[in-house]
Amino acid sequence: MKTSDNRDQALQLANVSRRSFLKGIAASGALVLAVSWDPATAESEPRKYGADYMAHGWVDNPNIFIRVARDGQVTIINHRGEMGQGIRTSLVMVMADEMGADWQQVHVEQAIANEEKYGNQDTDGSRSMRHWFEPLRRAGAAARTMLEQAAANQWQVPVSECRTDVHAVVHTPSQRTLSFGSLAAAAAELPVPARQSLTLKTPDQWRYIMRTSNQPLAIDGMDINQGKALYAADMRVDNMLYAVIARPPSYGSRVKNVDASKALAIAGVVKVLELPSVTQPSGFEPLGGVAVLAEHTWAAIQGRNALRIEWDDSPAGDNAHYDSEAFRASLESKATQPGKPVRQVGDFSQAQRDSAQHLTATYYAPHLAQAPMEPMAALVSIQGDHAEVWSSVQNPQATRDGVAKRLGLKASNVTVNCALMGGAFGRKAKPDFVFEAADLSKAMGGRPVRVQWTREDDLHHSFYHTVALQHMEGTLDHNGQVSGWLHRILAPSISSQFAPDSGHLSDRELTQGIRNMPFDIPAIQQETGEALGHVRIGWFRSVYNIPHAFAIQSFVAELANAAGQDHKAFLLELLGPDRQIDPRTQGENWNYSEDPSRYPIDIKRYKNVIERVTQEADWGKTMPPNRGLGLAVHHSFVSYCAIVMDVEVTPTGDVIVHQADIAFDCGPQINPDRVRAQMEGACVMGIGIALMTEITAKNGRVQQDNFHQYLIPRINQVPRTIRVHAVNSDLDVPLGGAGEPGLPPVAPALCNAIFAASGKRIRSLPVADQLKS
């Protein structure tokens, strides 16, 4: 095991095949691979957008997704990852509704990894419903058409006289009916109707889609509530070993010596294996370390505790000395120097010379760990030239391809079973934990091995949300209007995970709120400064939108205050006249993969969510002492979200969040209750980011071990009232994302409210005890 060379595998992972390349881009952030790829020039074929753009695109063949049994049971395949967003309910609901199935007779079956069969399965970027609503409506409609044709054939009547009622086809003139079950065999013999011949249901015919109360449909609800739902750690097979791994404390360090004698003396411990370390950039490669394999989890944990390991930090280089506080100071000193230009409009220096006021502010946002409640777990078993995987991953196909590559198997000989994810938030888009299980099973001659991460493992070895320092300057003219805007960001790039670190954010990362910033300002200067990564950096729900929105939306409030104007009025003024901006005119060629002509930046939609949320929150009302309202708006994942927070700052410096109002425009809400749930959840997570959640490092070690140090909100720390207001939820605009866009505006809205309540401006997250004393 020690001799196997994983460096080659790391390189292979990072190298560009056309397909893995696209998958990389797909993962909601940006790989450096993406930077070098200018879609306008790199390919002669026409640029593809949306689901067409994704690896393996989309599939709408009903035979792939829908089965009808003779007893009438309808089985619908869900091929996207379920991590709490409710996609197993929502996509199945779309197909069931279009085909006319009765929900009580619908079963869901989770697809294994197989993008060639199912189309893209990479579940991130808030795109499952956005990309799959139309194809899966067609799949449902095609199934309905085939059932109607089978009934018409049996009755020997024109199919035009047949219609589908609930789970049955009706011959309208005679009112005869045939159940779905009785038609199943005949319908299965029929050809799939041509796509263009399908008649989709009209919205008034829908029974499940876009209904405001879909709670009873929750497909896994009772299984969850009864403890029957299955996650990766619940998977077991005969003869399975349980593994827990001691990983190198710094990114890149390796085992120098290990004394396993005490570990091997623990009852139940079977074997101790040393794993190869990584070289950077390491992509999704496991970090290496020492694995303890045992007959049960507790023995493996005990065994790991008993290991005596001496680490060699020299391969980690600077990472072994990473000190997040010192790093912050170094970024602060660099932030005052000019950076690398990103976008320039007008002349900021001139605006500064002509200004009545010139404001400068520096904002800091720390590392975060996704910390899904389910720590990572994966089970791999190898038999001959076939491997079987059971895990909870956001990207099943990358997992399958990666396992196949490292085991030297054909991808078609690797089966990846997808259990529910107990939360993911971007962490489970990186299958390093599955690769660990594959390596260990291989080392054990194919014996099944299930790797279990502990919470300490999760917090110490995350793919962390970036740390970001942002230097902002703004100028106001003599009318109190913003005449100039400078935004300089220094933040490690996710690209550093996949290619030599350029030290600058990639284009894709800058499109998450900076390049596509819509403000109507005469002079805009956006720059990046150098910031190297010292830990693994990865996607975290809404990714770079978090720091970008924090700086931009806080600074707008600061400028409004300096101008002596109401924040809401000032923000609307800054957005300028109603218009649709083609993001390409701002050098923004990503647009979350969507066609900029279908998904322009729409100022009217920005204003709609601002108007709605301020109306609902009664913006401008007189507030009790020490209490204030704060506003923020952000556009991400082609959706629009504005939030007003009602916050109290007590004389002792405690922050009480009384209420959150959220106005959200993601276009049509296919499953409105789950959209609302995503907004509520994003609000809670965002309150944590604003007030308490932070990863720090010292001497190359992450300092937070568990939830007593890595603080996330508890029930007594979030508002009892979180109100979600749907805006523009009709079918007149294309679908936007829902899982991520609720998060970015939370922290700036909350910090703006703190300012309104206390006069104290928060420029560094989290608030923690900054308001004390």
Partner 1 sequence: MISVTINGQPQELEVSPETPILWVLRDFLALTGTRFGCGMGLCGACTVHLDGTAIRSCVTPISVAAGKNITSIESIENDSVGQRVQQAWMDEAVAQCGYCQGGQIMSAVSLLTTTPQPTDEQIDNAMSGNLCRCGTYPRIRKAIHRAAGTESLSTHTNGSQVQANDTLFREVKV
- Judged by CB under 8 A, the chain residues 336 through 365 that form the site for partner 1 are none
CA atoms within 13 A on the CB side of 540: 26
The answer to whether 583 touches 506, Cβ cutoff 8 Å, is no
Answer yes or no whether residue 166 interacts with partner 1 by CB under 8 A: no
Residue of the chain from 429, 476, 603, 722 that contacts partner 1 (CB under 8 A): 722
Inter-residue contact 118 to 77 (CB < 8 Å): yes
Q: How far apart are CA 720 and CA 743, in angstroms?
A: 18
Write phi, then psi, for 362 (nearest 5 degrees): -120, 130
Tell me the C-alpha distance between 232 and 690, whole Å. 31
Nearest approach, Cβ of residue 379 and partner 1 (Å): 13
Residue 623 interacts with partner 1 (CB under 8 A)?
A: no
Q: Which is nearer to partner 1, 475 or 758 (CB)?
A: 758
Q: Which of 666, 690, 711, 709 is nearest to 128 (CA)?
A: 666
566 makes contact with partner 1 (CB under 8 A): no
Q: Are 90 and 215 in contact (CB under 8 A)?
A: no
Residue selected from 21, 155, 206, 231 as contacting partner 1 according to rule CB under 8 A: 231
- Indicate the helix (H) or strand (E) that contains 66: strand 66-68
Work out whether 655 is an interface residue with partner 1 (CB under 8 A): yes
Contacts of partner 1 in 602-621 (CB under 8 A):
616
Q: Tell which positions 251-270 bind partner 1, by CB under 8 A.
A: 267
Q: How far is the CB of 200 from partner 1 (least distance, A)?
A: 24
Q: What angle do CA 553, 486, 763 make, to 5 degrees?
A: 45
User: What is the closest distance, in whole angstroms, from the C-beta atom of residue 511 to partner 1 in the complex?
Assistant: 27
CA 328 to chain centre: 26
Residues 277-316 within binding reach of partner 1 (CB under 8 A): 296-298, 301
Beta strand 449-452 pairing with 414-418: unpaired
Rounded least distance, CB 229 to partner 1, Å: 5
According to DSSP, residue 532 is labeled: -
Check residue 579 for interaction with partner 1 (CB under 8 A). Answer: no
Please select the residue that binds partner 1; options are 434, 469, 685, 747, rule is CB under 8 A: 685
What does DSSP assign to residue 335?
A: H
Contact flag: residue 454 with partner 1 (CB under 8 A): yes
Q: Which of 91, 245, 393, 767 binds partner 1 (CB under 8 A)?
A: 767
What's the closest the beta carbon of residue 23 comes to partner 1, in angstroms? Answer: 23
Tell me if 715 contacts partner 1 by CB under 8 A.
yes
Tokens 């200018």: give the residue: 38
For residues 593 and 50, give the distance between their C-alpha atoms in angstroms, rounded to a whole number: 5
Whether the link from the prior residue into 600 is cis, omega within 30° of 0, is no
672, 700, 737, 741: residue in contact with partner 1 (rule CB under 8 A): 672
Does 491 sit near partner 1 (CB under 8 A)?
no
To partner 1, the closest distance from the beta carbon of 126 in angstroms equals 15
Residue type, 52: D
23 scored as a contact of partner 1 (CB under 8 A): no
> Taking CB under 8 A as the rule, which mask of x and - marks residues 509-548 in contact with partner 1?
----------------------------------------
- When binding is defined by CB under 8 A, the residue of 189, 445, 651, 708 that contacts partner 1 is 708
On whether the CB atoms of residues 258 and 307 are closer than 8 A, the answer is yes
Contacting residue, 29, 50, 125, 422, with partner 1 by CB under 8 A: 422
Exactly one of 329, 721, 730, 760 binds partner 1 (CB under 8 A); that residue is 721
C-alpha triplet 120, 124, 125: angle, nearest 5°: 105
Of 339 and 713, nearer to partner 1 (C-beta) is 713
Contact segment (CB under 8 A) with partner 1 among 15-23, 330-338, 416-424, 462-470 equals 416-424
Part of the chain binding partner 1 (CB under 8 A), chosen from 53-61, 277-285, 396-404, 707-715: 707-715
Binding status of residue 657 toward partner 1 by CB under 8 A: yes
Q: In angstroms, rounded to a whole number, what is the distance separating the alpha carbons of residues 246 and 264?
A: 15
- Other C-beta atoms closer than 10 Å to the C-beta of 721 total 11
Cβ at position 704, least distance to partner 1 in Å: 12
Q: Of these, 8, 714, 730, 759, which contacts partner 1 (CB under 8 A)? A: 714
d(CA 387, CA 406): 11
Closer residue to partner 1 (CB): 82 or 432: 82
At closest approach, how far in Å is the CB of 228 from partner 1? 7
- Which residues in 191-220 contact partner 1 (CB under 8 A)? 212-216, 218, 220
Binding mask 369-388 for partner 1 (x = CB under 8 A): --xxxxx-------------
Q: Give the residue, chosen from 19, 195, 228, 410, that forms a contact with partner 1 under the rule CB under 8 A.
A: 228
DSSP codes joined into one string, 345-414 = ES-HHHHHHH-SEEEEEEEEE-BB----SS--EEEEEEETTEEEEEE--S-HHHHHHHHHHHHT--GGGE
Closest separation in Å from C-beta 647 to partner 1: 10
Q: Give the one residue of 608, 717, 764, 770 binding partner 1; rule: CB under 8 A.
A: 717
Region of residue 575 (left: phi > 0; alpha: psi -120 to 50; beta: else): alpha
Please answer whether residues 440 and 451 qualify as being in contact, where contact means their C-beta atoms are separated by less than 8 angstroms: yes
3-state secondary structure 96-163: HHHHCCCHHHEEEEECCCCHHHHCCCCCCCCCHHHHHHHHHHHHHHHHHHHHHHHHHHHHCCCHHHEE
Residue 31 touching partner 1 (CB under 8 A): no
Question: Under the criterion CB under 8 A, does residue 640 sit at the interface with partner 1?
Answer: no
Strand partners, 701: 698
185 binds partner 1 (CB under 8 A): no
Which residue type is seen at 110? Q
Question: Is residue 713 close enough to count as binding partner 1 by CB under 8 A?
Answer: yes
Q: Strand 340-345 to strand 357-365: parallel, antiparallel, or no bridges (unpaired)?
A: unpaired
667 binds partner 1, rule: CB under 8 A: no
Which residue of 658, 703, 764, 770 would you call a contact of partner 1, by CB under 8 A?
658
> Interface residues for partner 1 in 78-117 (CB under 8 A)?
82-86
Quote the least distance from Cβ 120 to partner 1, whole Å: 22
- Of 232-251, which residues contact partner 1 (CB under 8 A)? 233-234, 236, 242
Cβ 496 to partner 1 shortest distance, Å: 26
41's tokens: 């020039």
Residue with Cβ nearer partner 1 (355 or 669)? 669
Q: Does 677 contact partner 1 by CB under 8 A?
A: yes
Q: How far apart are CA 125 and CA 441, in angstroms?
A: 32
User: Which of 121/593 has CB closer to partner 1?
Assistant: 121
